[in-house]
């Protein structure tokens, strides 16, 4: 499993320690990119996102009272969609307008041999939940229950 990834200097994702579970963190120059990177970190708990082919596009929208809860809702939509569609996603395009999120996720059906999935994610939690701009860089993080 890749547990830290940076494809450009200004954006990336990583996992952080949390007891029995896993913390996920995305960062980037905008809150949208931080959310996209957090989604990649979520997928990386299950399998290496780079092995996922962007064959099918799925569109989502959600709304929350604040940006932090919006992150939890966004990640939980992905947990739900991956579970019920039997898919993994490997690429994301997120737009946020106020407290609404619109997103496109691209991926494919789980292929146990090629993706070598490790563990299911049960849900995103409010533990270590944080969406904030630190030194000009947006960070979006929380712990996910596995």
Surface-to-core class of residue 52, CB atoms within 10 Å of its CB (0-12 exposed, 13-18 middle, 19+ buried): buried
> Among residues 8, 84, 134, 136, which is the contact residue for other proteins, using CB under 8 A?
84
Name which of 54 and 117 has its Cβ closer to other proteins.
117
Q: Does 119 bind other proteins (CB under 8 A)?
A: yes
Displacement of CA 128 from its chain's centroid (Å): 15
What gap in Å lies between CA 75 and CA 135, rounded to an integer? 25
Nearer to other proteins, 95 or 109 (CB): 109
Residue 10 or 100 with smaller CB distance to other proteins? 100
Give 51's DSSP letter. G
Q: Is 69 in the site for other proteins (CB under 8 A)?
A: yes
Q: Which of 38, 39, 41, 124 binds other proteins (CB under 8 A)?
A: 124
Q: For residue 50, what is the DSSP state?
A: G
If one asks whether residue 116 binds other proteins (CB under 8 A), the answer comes out as yes
């Amino acid at each position: 499993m890749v547990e830290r990834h940076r494809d450009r200097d200004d954006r990336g994702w990583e996992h952080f320690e949390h007891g029995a579970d896993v913390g996920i963190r995305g960062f980037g120059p905008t809150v949208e990119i931080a959310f996209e990177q957090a989604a990649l970190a979520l997928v990386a708990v299950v399998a290496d996102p780079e092995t996922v082919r962007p064959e099918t596009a799925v569109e989502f929208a959600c709304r929350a009272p604040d940006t932090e809860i919006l992150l939890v809702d966004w990640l939980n939509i992905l947990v739900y969609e991956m579970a019920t569609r039997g898919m993994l996603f490997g690429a994301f395009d997120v737009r946020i307008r106020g407290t609404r999120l619109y997103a496109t996720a691209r991926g494919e059906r789980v292929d146990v041999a090629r993706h070598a999935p490790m563990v299911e994610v049960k849900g995103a939690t409010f533990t270590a939940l944080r969406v904030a701009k630190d030194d000009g860089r947006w960070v979006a993080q929380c712990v996910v229950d596995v």
